[in-house]
Structure 1
Amino acid sequence: MKKLATFICLTFAAVTILKAQDKPNVVFILADDMGYGDLGAYGQKLIRTPNIDKLAENGLLFTQFYAGTSVCAPSRSSLMTGQHTGHTAIRGNYEIKPEGQRPLPDSTITLAKMFKKAGYTTGDFGKWGLGFVGSSGDPLNQGFDQFYGYNCQRQSHNYFPEHLWNNTQKVNLDNSFTNLQVYAPELIQQQALNFIENNQRKPFFLYLSYTLPHAGLQLPAANEEFEQYKKAFNEQPRAIKKEWDGNGYQPQAYPHAAYAAMVTTLDTYVGQVVAKLKALGLDKNTLIIFTSDNGPHREGGNDPEFFNSSGGFRGIKRSLYEGGIREPMIASWPGKIQKGRRSDQAGAFWDFLPTFAELTRQPVPAHVDGLSILPVLLSKGKQQQHEFLYWEFHEDGGRQAVRKGKWKGVKNMADLETSGWELYNLETDQKEHNDLAAQQPAIVKELEEIAGRSHRPSDVTEWNFKRN
């Protein structure tokens, strides 16, 4: 009888695991302020990224994929909701004192909520920025079973914070601006690896919302990559004009080496995640997505031109030119996604929700702006194409951008003397140097009409355009 009971238990466990494996795990890795050109797979020459490059080698690399917009919170809102920044609830970096950002509304349908409805365990490890602890936007109220990291994106500008959050529990750390001891990314990474270990027998959605390589340019005291890059670049220390008082970004004497080491540290973390999946036998049943929330930054002493971080495109973070919103995007799934492929499919953050809905056989929510890109990922079926892609940015007077086929329009809302539109043919001018607005008034008018109908009024006054 004991043998029979043992056999039944083992059989039940095996069936449970098989059912779990019918649902692929999804690991979504989001870098913070990483440019299109910061990875070896996208042409980077100075920074080592072997693990992420391996993902591209073993999977699918996109060349025309875009973030939600060109700064953190609205781009992540677009990712979570499947809506572009003319529709999604959070359209700017709206700060709430003392700690946090404007929250997503209760009614929001997010990626995490959708995965939970499909029977997945969900976890977010890193930076949130879409609602302070206990608010409607708290990750625990937006579909995540577990959260560990920075709730507030402003707090994440310091990699040696005084606290992090474990769900709604504050985790105090032995740090102050004069005592930088505990490097937060290492704690967050360990919690993420634990999540994989603890949920290996059931399907999971793991959102790795890393803070690297966002400013400040900070690393642990003993970081081999930092020392190696200082030598490789023959970088001489820059004078620190003022002692850091804990406010703003900590000054960095070796900004080139620091930024490169932060990117390589992120790459190491990605390698650890892949290794953990392989060690647990989960790699063949796990879809990994890697991308970044917006273009490269020039904050805290960073120098994106030194690394060609924008990959030759015009603009950086806070710009709606290609360098501010076109991002690296890599998808890897052994046995499902063919190795070594490249795709010029034009897509954006709002495509992920319908893609994962199709993957998990969930209905696509109403008012979603995206299209499923599962056909191009799996090389099966006909891939739909966007009629257009649309972005908003609500700083510096405001900007809009529209891409329709080969045409890309960028509008400076602060330019009241003219229409404000610039027009570029991305087939012949990907660097957006030759403004064709004067020669193509009909195209400009068409893009103006698209922009006008794509902006849904917001209850936040500064997120509305006066001229719409």
Structure 2
Amino acid sequence: MKNLSLVVLTLGIATYFTSCKEVKQEIAEKQKEALPNIVFIISDDQAWTDYGFMGHEHIETPNLDKLANESLTFSRGYVPTSLCAPSLASMITGVYPRNHMVLGNDRVLPGDDKKGKPAWTLPWRASNYVPVVENFKKLNTLPKMLKKKGYLSFQTGKWWLGNYSNGGFDYGMTHGDPDRGGRHGDYGLEIGRKGMDTLYNYIDLALEKKKPFFMWYAPFLPHSPHNPPDSLLQKYLPKAPTEYVAKYWAMCEWFDITCGELMDYIDKKGQTENTIFVYVCDNGWVQNENDGAYNPISKQAPYDYGLRTPIMYKWKGKIAPGMDTLSLTSSLDMVPTVLDLLGLESSEELDGINILDETERNNREAVFGEIYNHDFNTIVEGLKYRMVMTNPYKLIVPDPKNRPNEKIQLYNIFKDPFEQVNLVDERPEVVDDLRNKLEASWNPKL
């Protein structure tokens, strides 16, 4: 009897611990399931005006209009710089270009002979960029931070910093090998333009592994080449002043269509209520009417046509939808906002705020920006402009060393959203106040 009791007791203890283990595993699985997926949708070269919900008379963006209606949408969003490589690097790190040091798209050194050609076409471009990539690999990125919560991270679309793994992604489309044409996305640039299957496969993989996922969807849209499907081009040709403009407008709708396909797939998989969507554009674009180039008031410029973007946050049932036309927000807020939603903290200081926190939002006095040469080397040699945006004023300060013939500009963005009337002589007290704010915020790694 004693032996029998011992066997029963042993079995009971084993059953108890097995049950406890199973319960813990079940709880862990439920906790994983409860973590929301995160999707960054990033437009490429699109003006803040060029959406249906932002009031464009001709461009149709029904899917983004729907997203805007279901999100807390900020119409006065900004990126810190109006060029893609530094802008995207800020989105994934949450810090200004002066802190992540991806200042431009290409790096030139003293003595480099460009011979009138763009840096990216020359053989030394890739070797010059190596230190930029190596420095970036040391930085804390959102995918790296999300690993603490068990996330799988996927890269699709544009990515300037070599292989996707350099940003902490687990999987991605961009190999980044310069010997195979790697520069700013390579195979990643096919997403959207050549279908969405790779992205769908990543989502399926995360669901199969029962892990939450972070998706970086930064397609090469509506970026040039402006070669939209003919059906879209024919739709806009009668409405546009020229074919160049019609092509750009059609590209904006093509991008919108792909966004709809992405959101529909997530809904089909039953993940809409468990997914945080964040929308932003990397920098602006104003299409020239008589050629395929952009107007210099947009991309690489300090004006709102280059810097301003709607920014949206959607989490069905968790984030109350609304259109905020007054609050200042920046793409730098994307990382801290997502981290706060997940109860995570960054090990390093971030330059943005949790924009969903009403107190932080209301206490914000300004957001800042900085623009460097497309072909850069150092902050001192490459800085072109610094900007400070407040309610209602915006100050543009050209660098005296690199832009010696340009003057400071001040605009009342509320009354003059297209920056036509320079108020610098009329409001010197505002200029002084904003310059003080700008200098107080300036802490570059020289």
Aligned twin of 1:370 = 352
Separation in structure 2 between the aligned mates of residue 145 and residue 389 of structure 1, nearest angstrom: 32
Does the alignment pair 1:110 with 2:122? no
Aligned twin of 1:54 = 66
Paired residues of 1:401 and 1:408 also in contact (CA < 8 A): yes
Paired residues of 2:395 and 2:409 also in contact (CA < 8 A): yes
Aligned twin of 2:423 = 436
Aligned twin of 1:197 = 204
Aligned twin of 2:317 = 335
Separation in structure 2 between the aligned mates of residue 282 and residue 375 of structure 1, nearest angstrom: 25
Structure-2 change in CA distance of 1:318 and 1:374 (3 Å) = same
Offset of residue 118 of structure 1: 2.5
| 1:25-40 mapped onto 2 (5 Å cutoff) | 25-40=37-52
Offset of residue 10 of structure 1: 11
Offset of residue 148 of structure 1: 0.8
For 1:227, give the aligned amino acid: Q
Aligned twin of 1:320 = 302
SS in 1 for 2:397: strand
Q: 2:239 is matched with which residue: 212, 233, 252?
A: 233
Separation in structure 2 between the aligned mates of residue 345 and residue 49 of structure 1, nearest angstrom: 24
CA-to-partner distance for each residue in 1:223-246, whole Å, 9 max, x for gaps?
Answer: 43233333x43887xxxxxxxxxx
Normalised TM-score (structure 1): 0.74
| 1:400-439 mapped onto 2 (5 Å cutoff) | 400-413=386-399, 414-416=402-404, 420-439=407-426
CA-to-partner distance for each residue in 1:438-462, whole Å, 9 max, x for gaps?
Answer: 2333332333333334444446xxx
SS in 1 for 2:311: strand
Separation in structure 2 between the aligned mates of residue 37 and residue 416 of structure 1, nearest angstrom: 31
Aligned twin of 2:8 = none
Aligned twin of 1:164 = 187
For 1:78, give the aligned amino acid: S
More displaced stretch, 261-270 vs 314-323: 314-323
Aligned-pair RMSD on alpha carbons? 3.5
Paired residues of 1:86 and 1:454 also in contact (CA < 8 A): no
Aligned twin of 2:7 = none
CA-to-partner distance for each residue in 1:27-74, whole Å, 9 max, x for gaps?
Answer: 010010111111111112222211111111222221111012111111
Unpaired segments ≥5 residues, structure 2? 1-18, 108-119, 375-382
SS in 2 for 1:41: coil
Larger radius of gyration: 2
For 2:431, give the aligned amino acid: V
Structure with the larger helix share: 2
Paired residues of 1:351 and 1:372 also in contact (CA < 8 A): yes
| Identical counterparts, % of pairs | 26
Unpaired segments ≥5 residues, structure 1? 1-6, 133-137, 166-181, 237-253, 306-313, 460-468
Paired residues of 2:155 and 2:216 also in contact (CA < 8 A): yes
Separation in structure 2 between the aligned mates of residue 372 and residue 325 of structure 1, nearest angstrom: 20
Offset of residue 325 of structure 1: 0.5
Paired residues of 1:125 and 1:189 also in contact (CA < 8 A): no
Separation in structure 2 between the aligned mates of residue 437 and residue 227 of structure 1, nearest angstrom: 45
Structure-2 change in CA distance of 1:343 and 1:228 (3 Å) = closer
Offset of residue 389 of structure 1: 1.6
For 2:57, give the aligned amino acid: K
